[in-house]
Structure 1
Amino acid sequence: MTAIPGRLRAPLALLPFLAAVAGVALVGGLAAANARSVYSGLDRPSFAPPAWLFGPVWTVLYLVIAVSGWLYWKSGGERQGLVWYAVQLLLNAAWTPLFFAAGAYGLALADIVLLDVAIVVTALYFRRSTRLSAALLLPYLAWTLYATALTAAIVVLN
């Protein structure tokens, strides 16, 4: 078996990070099969975005999340940072089934609050090794904080 040249190992290591976020996206996509009808049937706050915006935003965010994790790994970051990275991915994956498939808006709110915390902790770990990997998590954090406010408003209104 031929060894992979060193200059190719690091870029190929991006693939598991892409696969991990693709898995999260797949779980969300399967759980959100009826998301448009559920979302349109909810009383939403005035700051709620149109349903079509979620897909493009999450596509970009998932790509950035994968690159962030890969950069952290490539920099030799602490194992604990990767554990927090995995935790935030699991919390991310749980939100859509809780909200759309189960209609458990209160549990979805608790999940997304924990997700916000996990993203902050992940970014703090990532910052120790590479500021870029931490900075790449900031749009994700901003979007989830917005989604937290939206989820809280939906819990109150519904």
Structure 2
Amino acid sequence: MKKKLVYIAISMTVCLLIGILASFATQSSVNDWYQTLNKPSFNPPNWIFGPVWGVLYILMGVAAGIVWAKGIYHLWVKTALYHFAFQLLFNALWSIVFFGFQSPFWALIVILTLLILIFLTIRWFKVVSKTAAVLMVPYFLWVCFAAVLNYKIWEMN
């Protein structure tokens, strides 16, 4: 049990650090370029994104820690964690492309790829731990919403 908690803590820390690093790209544009964009009526207020992403990164970290605790030597665990790491990189890449490069079109391509990667991660997590897979579902749903939002922003601008 102690080993599992250590893996969860490490995984949560990694996820939160990725989120913090990605936020540097976000902060560079959120108060100027992003404000000038036309946005759909369902665009949430800016203050909501930080808390939502914080919770999602924690859930992702718990999920990855649960999978990791099943034994990194196992092929299914390795495969699940490879998928997780790859989707986490695309998660950070989206912020860099959308906010850093100020490119909603290319960010849309990134987020659609991210959705596929999250789906595959959930699928592999389910093989290892149903609980871990379920913990990833809110993240998948939020990224679905973010993809629609990204599309509308690209379409409107």
TM over 0.5, shorter chain: yes
Q: In 2, distance between residues paired with 1:72 and 1:59?
A: 20
1:35 deviates by: 1.1
Identify the residue that residue 46 of structure 1 maps to in structure 2.
41
Cα distance, 1:111 vs. partner?
Answer: 0.5
Q: Does 1:93 align with 2:87?
A: no
Aligned sequence identity (%):
30
When structure 1 is superposed on structure 2, of 8-17 and 92-101 the one drifting more is 8-17
**What do the CA deviations read for 1:28-83 (whole angstroms, capped 9, x no partner)?**
22111231333321100111111111011001000000001011112345211110
Q: How many pairs does the alignment contain?
A: 152
Distance 1:36 1:63 in 2: 26
Q: Distance in 1 between matches of 2:101 and 2:31?
A: 15
Whether 1:66 aligns to 2:61 is yes
Task: State the superposition RMSD in angstroms.
Answer: 1.3
Amino acid at match of 2:123: L
Q: Secondary structure at the match of 2:41?
A: coil
Deviation at 1:130, TM superposition (A): 1.1
Provide the C-alpha distance between the structure 1 equivalents of 2:116 and 2:68, rounded to a whole number of angstroms: 21
- Name the aligned partner's letter for residue 16 of structure 1: I
Aligned counterparts of 1:15 and 1:135: Cα–Cα separation in 2: 18
Is 1:105 the counterpart of 2:104? The answer is yes
Runs of 4+ in 1 over 3 A off after TM superposition: none
CA contact (8 A) 1:39 1:51 kept: no
Unaligned runs of 5+ in 2: none
CA separation in 1, counterparts of 2:134 and 2:4? Answer: 20
**Alpha-carbon separation, structure 2, partners of 1:59 and 1:121:** 22
**Structure exhibiting the larger radius of gyration computed from Cα positions:** 1
How far apart, in 1, do the equivalents of 2:35 and 2:122 lie?
34
Letter in 2 for 1:37: D
Q: Does 1:55 align with 2:50?
A: yes
Q: Distance in 2 between matches of 1:115 and 1:79?
A: 19
Q: Which amino acid aligns with 2:143?
A: T
Contact in 2 for aligned 1:28/1:96 (Cα 8 Å): yes
- Aligned equivalent of 1:23: 17
Q: Which of residues 8, 12, 18 in structure 2 aligns to 1:14?
A: 8
Contiguous gaps of at least 5 residues in structure 1 = 1-6
2:26 equivalent to 1:32: yes
TM-score (ref. length: structure 1): 0.91
Q: Secondary structure at the match of 1:13?
A: helix
